[in-house]
Amino acid sequence: MFGIGGRYNYYEENTRKNRKINSGNFITSLITSLIVGALLLILIWNNIIPIPPRNDSVSPGVDSGQKEIDPDIPQDIRVPNPQQIGATISNPTDNIVNVTKSVIDGVVGISVLRANVDSIFDSNTTEKWGVGTGVVVSSDGYILTNHHVAGGKNKKLIVFFSDGTTMDGQTLWSDSVLDLAIVKVNATGLTAIPLGDASKLQVGELAIAIGNPFGLQLQRTVTSGIISALNRTISIDTEQGTNYMEGLIQTDASINPGNSGGPLLNFRGEVVGINTVKIASAEGIGFAIPINVAIPIIQKFKDTGTFKEAYMGIFAYDREAIPFLEQDLKLDNGIYVVKVDQDGPAAKSGIKKGCIILEVDGKPVNTMLELRCIIYSKNPGDVINITHIERETGKIVTTPITLSEKKGDGLITR
């Protein structure tokens, strides 16, 4: 404590004290920092990797890891137990395989023998077999296909089943404009494919087509793709001239000659459409007729063994087809009447060319396909109420029409 000569060295003593104090402060700060850091590390670690709850408080019947909630805690402040969420990614190929297995016995080949002759007195008459596909829609022998496969006059119609058996068939009904036909074979216990609802389809969902491309040598070929678009309108050539098919389903599943009349299926293995045409100048573009329009026809055949088609006597186009007809016409809702049978029920009730049909029995109608679905569900003699815009006055009126029975297969098909 004393320096040279015995004098008290204040500076030296003070320096020693400061060193002791600083050393103590450093050690204290270091310990404090370590404790705080450890607490932060534990907190962060628990947020990143939650510590699972103990199992010692699990009640009987409660899954392991789920603590029993105290019933005395108010419902609005209870904290839910953590749930482990898992996602299963299915393989689309597996789904296609399963769908194919479930429906393949309900897909048939159809071969039709027709005479190529312009006159019954033509000595150069030749015969030609045509090939297409069909869908068994009831176990007692009703088969749905295209008109251009089984419609019109033919000398013989043979149906080929998946087990190798063949049966003679008969065309009971067909419509050239709609391009659908019903064929009947004398059989029971057939595998029928369930029918779906085309109105619930979404663009981008799975689509599976099955048919007999290029003849019976390639029977029941399966192709897959997606629903590319809905409610398409295309022009076609029929016996009555150029016509327009509306409300079609567009798909990129390959549809080739011989696929006509085969099913377009959804991922549940339900028929949502009947394959009908492919654009010759494009690849990956095929079309199918929505199954909804055929369902009331099929049901009447199954219930009564016959189908008496109700007839209204008009032909109309929706807004998708209007640009083909009148580019200046703007149609937001309804269907535009372009042809009227002057001897039909609609003409007798005042419906004229140029009228816009908005509703039938209170149901909105925006496509000819929707109108067909309603008319097919009716019987000759039924009365329907048509809400339409009059061509001359522009007024909205409701007109009752008594349906008759359709005769023949002309251009005016409803």
**148 annotated active-site:** yes
Number of other CB atoms surrounding residue 31 within 10 Å:
10
Residue 164 identity? G
Query: Quick check: 273 and 198 in contact, CB under 8 A?
Result: yes
For residue 184, the one-letter residue type is K
- Catalytic residue (choose from 174, 175, 176, 179): 179
pLDDT at position 106: 94
- The model's pTM: 0.70
Cα 62 to its chain centre, rounded Å, is 41
Instruction: Assess whether pLDDT exceeds 60 at residue 316.
Output: yes
For residue 78, count other CB atoms closer than 10 A to its CB: 11
Kindly list the distances between the CA atom of residue 395 and the CA atoms of 336, 347, 392, in Å, as whole numbers in the listed order. Answer: 15, 18, 8
Q: Which of 111, 148, 224, 254 is catalytic?
A: 148
Query: Which amino acid belongs to residue 25?
Result: N
Q: Exposed, middle or buried: residue 58 (CB in 10 Å: 0-12, 13-18, 19+)?
A: middle
CA–CA separation, 306 vs 182, rounded Å?
11
**CATH 2.40.10.10: does it fit domain 196-295?**
yes
Task: Note whether 106 and 270 are within 8 A (CB).
Answer: no
Residue 130 structure tokens: 């045509």
**Confidence band, pLDDT 50/70/90 cuts, at residue 360:** very high
Domains 196-295 and 308-405 share a fold: no
pLDDT at residue number 92: 64
Q: What is the pLDDT of residue 5?
A: 43
What are the tokens at 407?
Answer: 């005769």
Class for the domain spanning 100-118+126-185: mainly beta
Q: Are strands 363-364 and 383-389 parallel, antiparallel or unpaired?
A: unpaired
- Give the range among 61-70, 115-124, 210-219, 279-288 with minimum mean pLDDT: 61-70
DSSP letters spanning 233-272: EEEEEETTEEEEEEEEEEE-S---TT-TTPEEE-TTS-EE
What confidence tier does 38 reach under pLDDT thresholds 50, 70, 90?
Answer: low
Q: Is the pLDDT of residue 292 over 90?
A: yes
pLDDT score recorded for residue 58: 42
pLDDT band at 178 (very low <50, low <70, confident <90, very high): confident
Give me the pLDDT at residue 66, please: 46
Asked whether residue 56 carries a pLDDT value surpassing 70, the answer given is: no
Predicted pLDDT of residue 397:
94
Of the candidates 174, 176, 254, 260, the residue annotated as catalytic is: 260
Residues 308-405, CATH architecture: Roll (2.30)
Q: Establish whether 179 is a catalytic residue.
A: yes
Q: 345: which residues sit within 8 A by CB, 6+ positions away?
A: 311, 312, 313, 401, 402, 403, 404
- Residue 67: predicted pLDDT: 45
Q: How many CB atoms lie within 10 A of CB 391?
A: 14
The amino acid present at 94, given as its one-letter code, is D
- Separation CA 44–CA 35 (nearest Å): 14
Domain residue extents for the chain: 4-37, 100-118+126-185, 196-295, 308-405
122 is catalytic: no
Question: How much is the pLDDT for 235?
Answer: 73
- Residues 80-85, mean pLDDT to the nearest whole number: 48
For 182, residues 6+ apart whose C-beta sits below 8 A from its C-beta are 142, 143, 144, 171, 172, 173, 174, 297, 298, 301, 307
Secondary-structure breakdown of the chain: helix, strand, coil percentages, each rounded to the nearest 5: 25, 35, 45
pLDDT band at residue 82 under the 50/70/90 scheme:
very low
- Alpha carbon distances (Å) from 323 to 336, 384, 389: 12, 29, 20
- Provide CB contacts within 8 A for 9, sequence distance 6+: 1, 2, 3
Of the CA atoms within 13 Å of residue 216, those in its CB half-sphere come to 16
